[in-house]
Amino acid sequence: MKRIENHPILTFKRGKKIKFYFEGKEMWGYEGDTIASALVANGVKVFRESLKLHRPRGFYCAIGNCSSCLMTVDGVPNVRTCITPLKEGMRVERIKGKGALHYEN
């Protein structure tokens, strides 16, 4: 886990533990995490790749602007994981190329 446990000024109140899945693999975060903070805490650095040159992209602006953290969450493509709260049982996946849409008709 890559979390700051002791900080000289701040104290952290953690909520309950939440289980989620990254690329099918079981991971744990805390209530109050965003998807991105939970991923970072679990050692996941690469969230997606750039569209043209396929370079790795990871945690960057942290305010939902830069599209560096877009991932597929529970089948929905292009979710801004840095501003989306983590929920129990979420399935988080890297987008291959551009996000794919699904339909039910």
Partner 1 sequence: MNKTYDYIVVGAGISGAVVAYELAKRKAGSILILDKDFPTAGATGSCAAGIRAQFGTEFNVSLMKISLEKFENLHEELDYPKELIGLHQGGYLVLAYSEEEMENLRRNVRVQHKIGINTEILTPEEVHYRWPMLRLDGVVGATYHARDGHADPFYTTFAYIEAAKRLGAELRKYTPVLKLLTEGEKVVGVETPDGPIYGGNIVVAAGTWSTKLLKDIGVDIPLWAEKHEILITEPLARFLDPMVISFSKDFYAQQRPHGGFIMGVSPDDPEHWFDPKDYNIQSSWHFLKKMASTILEVMPFLKDVHIVRQWAGFYDMTTDHHHIVGPIDAYDGLWILAGGSGHGFMFGPSVGMILAQWIVGEELAYDITKLNWKRFDEGKLVIEPAVVG
Residues that bind partner 1 (CB under 8 A): 51, 67, 76-78, 97-103, 105
Phi, psi values for residue 23, rounded to 5°: 50, 40
Residue with Cβ nearer partner 1 (46 or 76): 76
Q: How far apart are the first and last CA of the chain?
A: 43
CB of 44 to partner 1, least distance (A): 22
C-alpha angle 64-70-73 in degrees, rounded to nearest 5: 110
Distance (Å, whole) CA 76 – CA 93: 10
CB of 28 to partner 1, least distance (A): 26
Residue with Cβ nearer partner 1 (56 or 64): 64
CB of 2 to partner 1, least distance (A): 29
Residue with Cβ nearer partner 1 (58 or 77): 77
CB of 64 to partner 1, least distance (A): 10
Over its C-alpha atoms, the chain yields an Rg (Å, rounded) of 14
Which residue carries 């050692």 as its tokens?
43
